[in-house]
Amino acid sequence: MNNFKIFLLMGILSVILVLIGGAVGGNNGAALFFLISLAMNFFSYYFSDKIAIKMTGSQPVSKEEAPELYNIVGGLAKRAGLPMPRLYITPSTQPNAFATGRNPEHAAVAVTKGLLQILNRSELEGVLAHELAHIKNRDVLLGTIAATFAGAIAMIANIIKWGAIFGMGRDDNEGGGNFIGAIALAIIAPLAAMIIQMSISRSREYQADASGAQFAGSAGGLANALLKLENAARRVPMQVNPATSHLFIVNPLSGASVARLFSTHPPIEERVKRLSSMKI
C-alpha cells in the first residue's frame, strides 16, 4: 500500500511542477519542469536520508559520543526486527526527533540536543521506538519525498512570485495569460504541497505511536514525552525548513500561529488519549 502512495505522491507533485513550468514557459517550460521532476523523483527516492539530514542540519554521532542513545536504539531495533539505523544529532535546543531513509537498510534516526536534555530514559525509549516504527512501517520515504518536493515547489513558487512582481518575463501584448497563471500557481502550489503533507502525516503518526509503544513495551513513556515535547515546541523556536516539519514527531513550528493552521500532525491530546487506552 505504501508503494502505491509513494508513486501517487510522486505523480501528483510532478504534475504540480509541470503546471508551474507550463504557466511560466509554455510547452517548453512544462517539458523542462517534467525533466526536473524526473530528476527529483530519482534523487528523493535513492538519497532520501541524505536529503532530509542535509535539510535539517543534522550531524552524525558516534557510539563513543552518545553511548546511551546507541544502547537504547540498538535494543529497540533488535526487538522490532530492524537493522541498526545511522544516528544523528540535530543542533536545536527544541526537543524533537525524526526518522528518514528509503527502507530499513538505508535508514537514519535524528534527535535534537534538546530532546536528550529533557527526557528520562523511559520517555526517550518511547520517542525512539516511535521513530523506529516509522522505519518498520516503511513510511519514512513517503515523508521525505513530500519534504523534498514541497521545499522545491515553495522555492520555485517564491521565485515566480518575485519575478512576476518585478515584471520578469512579462509581455504586455502576449504574456498576460502566462503572467496571471504564474501568479496563481505561485500562491496555490505551496498550499497544494502542504495539503499533500497533511494527508500523509496525520494517519501515519497514530500508527507509529501504536507500533512504537509495542516496541518499547509501554505506552506511558511515549505519552509523557509527547506532552513534554508539545509544551517545549510552543516555547522554544526551531530554525527548520517548513517543508520538513511533518518529518518530526511533534510539529517543530507549533509555536507559530500561522503554522498551527496548517498543522501536519494530529492533536497531541488525541495521540496521548489513544496511547493511554492501549493495553500492552
- Quick: pLDDT tens for 41-64: 888 778 877 888 988 999 999 999
Structure-model confidence comparison of residues 224 and 203, the more confident one: 224
- 137-150 residues labelled b (16+ CB within 10 A) or e (exposed): bbbbbbbbbbbbbb
Q: What is the DSSP string of 119-166?
A: --HHHHHHHHHHHHHHHHTT-HHHHHHHHHHHHHHHHHHHHHHHHHHT
Model confidence at 24, pLDDT cuts 50, 70, 90, reads: confident
Q: What is the pLDDT of residue 9?
A: 73
Question: With pLDDT > 70 as the criterion, what percentage of the chain qualifies?
Answer: 78
12: cell is: 501528483
Closest CA to 215 of 104, 51, 60, 82: 82
The total number of structural domains in the chain stands at: 1
| Predicted structure pTM score | 0.80
Identify the pLDDT of residue 175. 46
What ranges make up the beta strands (E) of the chain?
59-60, 86-90, 97-101, 107-112
Name the CA dihedral angle for 12, 135, 280, 70, rounded to a multiple of 10 degrees: -150
Q: Which positions are catalytic?
A: 131
Range of the domain at 64: 2-276
> What three-state secondary structure class fits 248?
strand
What mean pLDDT comes out for the span 171-200? 59
